[in-house]
Structure 1
Amino acid sequence: MNKDVYGNMGTILRIDLTDESVAYEDARKYYKDWLGGRCLAHYLLFSEVDVARTEPLSPENRIYIGTGPLSGTTFPSSGRTHACFLSPMNYSGWGDSNCGGHFGPALKRCGFDMVVISGRAKRPVYLYVENDTVSILPADDLWGKGTIDTQAELIARHGEPTKLLCIGQGGENLVRFANVRTETTNSMGRCGLGAVFGSKNLKAVVAKGTKPVKLFKPKEFYEVTKQLRDDLMNPEFGKAHSATYQIMSKWGTPGITNLIGTTGMVPIRNWQRCGIDPKFDRLVRAWSTEHGTRREACFTCPVHCHAAYAVKDGKYPTRGGGPEYETTTALGHKCDVGDDKAVLKLNSMCNDYGLDTVECGALFSTLMELMERRIIDKEYLDGIDMQFGNADAMVEMMPMVVFRKGVGDQLADGPWRVCKRIGPEALKSCYHQKGMCATGVETRSTIGSMLQFAVSPRGSHHLNGLPTAEWVNIPPVAVKVAGYAEAGDVRSYHPQAKARLVRYYENMFFLSDSLGICKFNFGHLAFWHDSGEALDYMYDQLCKAIYYATGIKYTVDELFTIFERSNQIERATIVMRGCRREDDQPNWKCLNEACPGQHPVGPIPLPPIDAEKFNKILDAYYDERGWERETGIPKKSHLKKLGLGFVADKMGAALKVV
Structure 2
Amino acid sequence: MTKEVYGNMGIILRVDLTTGSVTREDASKYNEKWLGGRCLAHYLLFNEVDVAKTDPLSPANKVYIGTGALGATTFPSSGRTHACYLSPMNYSGWGDSNCGGHFGPALKRCGYDMLVISGKAKKPVCLYIEDDEVRLESAADVWGKGTIDTQAELIEKYGEPTKLLCIGQAGENLVRYANVRTETTNSMGRCGMGAVFGSKNLKAVVAKGSKPVKLFKPKEFYKVTKQLRDELMDPKFGKVHSASYDLMSKWGTPGITNLIGTTGMVPIRNWQRCGIDPKFDRLVRSWSKDHGTRREACFACPVHCHAAYAVKDGKYPTRGGGPEYETTTALGHKCDITDDKVVLKLNTMCNDYGLDTVETGAMFSTLMELMERKLINKSFLDDIDMQFGNGDACVAMMPKIVFRKGCGDNLANGPYRVAKALGEKALQSVYHQKGMCATGVETRSTIGSMLQFAVSPRGSHHLNGLPTAEWVNIPPVAVKVSGFKEGGDVRSYHPEAKARLVQYYENMFFLSDSLGICKFNFGHLGYWHDKVEDLDHMYDLICQSIYYASGIKYTTEELFEIFERSNQIERATIVMRGIRREDDQPNWKCLNKECPGEHPVGPIPLPPIDGVKYNKILDAYYKQRGWDMDGIPETKHLKKLGLDFVAKKMNKALSA
Contact 1:2–1:10 under 8 Å retained in 2:
no
SS at match of 2:50: coil
Match in the other structure for 2:497: 497
Length-normalised TM-score, structure 1: 0.99
SS at match of 2:178: coil
Match in the other structure for 1:294: 294
Match in the other structure for 1:575: 575
SS at match of 1:70: coil
1:302 is matched by which residue type in structure 2? P
SS at match of 2:70: coil
Structure 1 position 146, deviation (Å): 0.1
Give the distance between the partners of 1:599 and 1:6, measured in 2 at CA: 49
Structure 1 position 209, deviation (Å): 0.4
Give the distance between the partners of 1:53 and 1:475, measured in 2 at CA: 43
1:409-433, CA deviations, whole angstroms, 9 ceiling, x for partnerless residues?
0000000000001111000000000
Give the distance between the partners of 1:2 and 1:230, measured in 2 at CA: 37
Match in the other structure for 1:113: 113
Structure 1 position 140, deviation (Å): 1.0
Structure 1 position 279, deviation (Å): 0.7
User: Given the alignment of the two structures, is residue 177 of structure 1 paired with residue 161 of structure 2, yes or no?
Assistant: no
1:340-391, CA deviations, whole angstroms, 9 ceiling, x for partnerless residues?
0000000000000000000000000000000000000001100000000000
Match in the other structure for 1:166: 166
Give the distance between the partners of 2:499 and 2:346, measured in 1 at CA: 38
User: Given the alignment of the two structures, is residue 374 of structure 1 paired with residue 401 of structure 2, yes or no?
Assistant: no
Match in the other structure for 1:34: 34
Give the distance between the partners of 2:129 and 2:389, measured in 1 at CA: 45
Match in the other structure for 1:250: 250
Structure 1 position 472, deviation (Å): 1.6
SS at match of 1:307: strand
User: Given the alignment of the two structures, is residue 537 of structure 1 paired with residue 548 of structure 2, yes or no?
Assistant: no
CA RMSD after TM alignment = 0.7
Match in the other structure for 2:462: 462
SS at match of 2:308: strand
Match in the other structure for 2:321: 321
User: Given the alignment of the two structures, is residue 24 of structure 1 paired with residue 28 of structure 2, yes or no?
Assistant: no
Give the distance between the partners of 2:184 and 2:467, measured in 1 at CA: 29
Match in the other structure for 2:56: 56
Structure 1 position 511, deviation (Å): 0.1
2:270 is matched by which residue type in structure 1? N
Give the distance between the partners of 2:255 and 2:421, measured in 1 at CA: 38
Give the distance between the partners of 2:81 and 2:610, measured in 1 at CA: 38
Contact 1:576–1:654 under 8 Å retained in 2:
yes
Match in the other structure for 2:645: 646
Match in the other structure for 1:557: 557
2:583 is matched by which residue type in structure 1? D
Give the distance between the partners of 2:620 and 2:75, measured in 1 at CA: 37
SS at match of 1:380: helix
User: Given the alignment of the two structures, is residue 425 of structure 1 paired with residue 425 of structure 2, yes or no?
Assistant: yes
2:386 is matched by which residue type in structure 1? M
Structure 1 position 471, deviation (Å): 1.1
1:131 is matched by which residue type in structure 2? D
SS at match of 2:190: coil
Match in the other structure for 1:15: 15
1:444-496, CA deviations, whole angstroms, 9 ceiling, x for partnerless residues?
00000000000000000000000000012222111111111111111000000
1:161-185, CA deviations, whole angstroms, 9 ceiling, x for partnerless residues?
0000000000000000000000000
Q: Percent identity?
A: 81
Structure 1 position 571, deviation (Å): 0.1
1:308-345, CA deviations, whole angstroms, 9 ceiling, x for partnerless residues?
00000001100000000000000000000000000000
Match in the other structure for 1:522: 522
SS at match of 2:85: strand
Structure 1 residue runs of 4 or more that deviate by more than 3 Å after TM superposition: none
Give the distance between the partners of 1:648 and 1:341, measured in 2 at CA: 52
SS at match of 1:187: strand
Give the distance between the partners of 1:267 and 1:261, measured in 2 at CA: 8
Unmatched segments (≥5 aa) in structure 2: none
Contact 1:475–1:485 under 8 Å retained in 2:
yes
2:281 is matched by which residue type in structure 1? D
Length-normalised TM-score, structure 2: 1.00
SS at match of 1:379: helix
1:64-101, CA deviations, whole angstroms, 9 ceiling, x for partnerless residues?
00000000000000000000000000000000000000
SS at match of 1:192: helix
Contact 1:91–1:435 under 8 Å retained in 2:
yes
Give the distance between the partners of 1:565 and 1:99, measured in 2 at CA: 23
SS at match of 2:285: helix
Count how many residue pairs are aligned between Structure 1 and Structure 2: 656
Unmatched segments (≥5 aa) in structure 1: none
Structure 1 position 2, deviation (Å): 8.2
SS at match of 2:604: coil
Structure 1 position 260, deviation (Å): 1.0
Give the distance between the partners of 1:58 and 1:512, measured in 2 at CA: 30
1:575 is matched by which residue type in structure 2? V
1:603 is matched by which residue type in structure 2? P
1:636 is matched by which residue type in structure 2? T
SS at match of 1:42: helix
Give the distance between the partners of 2:59 and 2:537, measured in 1 at CA: 45
Give the distance between the partners of 1:188 and 1:93, measured in 2 at CA: 16
Contact 1:472–1:488 under 8 Å retained in 2:
no
SS at match of 2:304: coil
Give the distance between the partners of 1:639 and 1:334, measured in 2 at CA: 41
Give the distance between the partners of 2:212 and 2:2, measured in 1 at CA: 12
SS at match of 2:191: coil
Give the distance between the partners of 1:440 and 1:76, measured in 2 at CA: 26
1:257 is matched by which residue type in structure 2? T
Structure 1 position 213, deviation (Å): 0.2
User: Given the alignment of the two structures, is residue 284 of structure 1 paired with residue 280 of structure 2, yes or no?
Assistant: no
Contact 1:431–1:587 under 8 Å retained in 2:
yes
Match in the other structure for 1:623: 623
